[in-house]
Copies of this chain bind each other. A is one copy, B any other.
Amino acid sequence: MVKTNAGRFFEDYQIGQVIGHAVPRTVSGGERALYHMLYPARHALYSSDSFAQACGLAGSPLDDLAAFHVVFGKTVPDVSLNAVANLGYAEGRWLKPVWPGDTLRSVSEVIGLKQNSNGKTGVVWVRTEGLNQHDEVVLRYVRWVMVKKRDTDAPAPDAVVPDLAPVLAVADLAIPKGLDFSNYDFDLAGEPHRWGDYEVGEKIDHVDGVTVEEAEHMMATRLWQNTSKVHFDGTMREDGKRLIYGGHVISLARTLSFNGLASAQMIVGLNAGAHANPCFAGDTVRAWSEVLDKAETDVPGVGAIRLRLVATKGGAPFDLRGEDGKYLPSVLLDLDYWALMPV
């Protein structure tokens, strides 16, 4: 009797299936310190309890992306162990801050299935929720992955492709209870620019670069208890390199975006995301952003800004796609998210 988890294959999923993922995780000040060690994280709301308190919160929450990685990591053994590709994200909503001492677990529901025409793989859509120890949903998002079939002769399921919003409506963004930017300290935030200073269509080159080492991305990915073999096992490729977890690139790009977007404090919505090309140790990751939209919110002083965040390894700033419409080889990530910023 084999006792190890071989992961699910395409024919193991059914529409409506609910998967409670294993290994709940309590986070502490340790995870916060590590996020600062692994990424050039400088957003003041996540760095300083005092700053967060001046913004109406009880203290500094766990970085939104750290919460995302913890929730995501738990889904890997059940959703993407046999995935060929991580295809996309949609309708990602951060619903409650995660505090030191909270325990997170994840649950996913299968909401879409579509076998590919080659008969060897299929696409699985799951809606994943991260819950805290009070069973409150702190985060919810959809992702879809291409998964291998165990048996190519297994019958194809009826195709169900979920109807996903291309962009979250501003009304759907959850603004943390108590958040108040009326006493926002722009000097301490490290950013003279406020919501009103950004224009739709504006592009920002974040200038700084980070050359990634194997040890760093493995430690980050392990911290989120992500078990995907390709990130850790150097024998899976001839060059000994390990494929860097896409979420590591997201966090690198987001933290690099401090330089120009330091007041895009809280991520509240993930509209879309594509991992355009693989990232490997030795690559120097840079980032640029584009303001896609802006909106007022119900909370006085709090504006929403929709940003495209692009991570690159070489190439000129603001390059994205070639004449063929495909991502350039230098593009690693194209992410579309909503953040909260003082008006």
Task: Name A residues whose Cβ lies closer than 8 Å to a Cβ of B.
Answer: 1, 3-5, 20, 22-34, 36-42, 44, 47-51, 60, 77, 100-101, 103, 105, 133, 187-191, 193, 197, 204-211, 213-216, 218-220, 222-223, 225, 227, 229, 232-235, 240, 242, 259-262, 282, 284
Q: List 7 A-B contacts (CB under 8 A).
A: A1-B197, A22-B190, A23-B42, A23-B190, A26-B60, A34-B37, A36-B223
In the complex, which residues of chain B have a beta carbon less than 8 angstroms from the beta carbon of A193? 3
Instruction: Report how far A32 CA is from B103 CA in the complex, Å.
Output: 14
Residue in B closest to A103 when the chains form the complex, CB atoms: B50
| Given known A205-B4, A211-B235, A233-B209, contact A37–B284 (CB-CB < 8 A) | no
Is B77 in contact with A190, judged by CB distance below 8 angstroms?
A: yes
In the complex, which residues of chain B have a beta carbon less than 8 angstroms from the beta carbon of A232? 40, 208-211
> What's the nearest-Cβ distance from chain B to residue A114, in Å?
28
| Given known A24-B47, A188-B24, contact A204–B42 (CB-CB < 8 A) | no
| Given known A77-B190, A284-B235, contact A219–B47 (CB-CB < 8 A) | no
Residue in B closest to A211 when the chains form the complex, CB atoms: B234
Is A105 in contact with B235, judged by CB distance below 8 angstroms?
A: no
Residue in B36, B41, B44, B77 whose beta carbon sits within 8 Å of that of A24 in the complex: B44
Residue in B24, B25, B191, B209 whose beta carbon sits within 8 Å of that of A235 in the complex: B209
What 14 new A-B contacts, CB under 8 Å, besides A40-B225, A208-B232?
A4-B205, A24-B44, A26-B50, A29-B30, A30-B32, A33-B33, A33-B223, A36-B223, A36-B225, A39-B222, A77-B190, A209-B232, A213-B215, A227-B259
In the complex, which residues of chain B have a beta carbon less than 8 angstroms from the beta carbon of A47? 23-26, 225
In the complex, which residues of chain B have a beta carbon less than 8 angstroms from the beta carbon of A204? 3-4
In the complex, which residues of chain B have a beta carbon less than 8 angstroms from the beta carbon of A42? 22-23, 225, 227
> What's the nearest-Cβ distance from chain B to residue A283, in Å?
9
Instruction: Report how far A343 CA is from B37 CA in the complex, Å.
Output: 38
Residue among A24, A28, A29, A50 with the most chain B CB within 10 A?
A24
In the complex, which residues of chain B have a beta carbon less than 8 angstroms from the beta carbon of A28? 28-30, 32-33, 100
| Given known A33-B223, A219-B216, A259-B5, contact A105–B284 (CB-CB < 8 A) | no
| Given known A3-B261, A30-B28, A50-B26, contact A211–B240 (CB-CB < 8 A) | yes
Instruction: Report how far A284 CA is from B205 CA in the complex, Å.
Output: 37
> What's the nearest-Cβ distance from chain B to residue A261, in Å?
7
Residue among A204, A222, A261 with the most chain B CB within 10 A?
A222
> What's the nearest-Cβ distance from chain B to residue A158, in Å?
28
User: Nearest 6 pairs between A and B by C-beta?
Assistant: A30-B33, A22-B190, A28-B29, A211-B234, A24-B48, A215-B215
Residue in B closest to A48 when the chains form the complex, CB atoms: B24
Residue among A22, A42, A187 with the most chain B CB within 10 A?
A22
In the complex, which residues of chain B have a beta carbon less than 8 angstroms from the beta carbon of A100? 28-29
In the complex, which residues of chain B have a beta carbon less than 8 angstroms from the beta carbon of A1? 197
Is B218 in contact with A213, judged by CB distance below 8 angstroms?
A: yes
Is A33 in contact with B36, judged by CB distance below 8 angstroms?
A: no
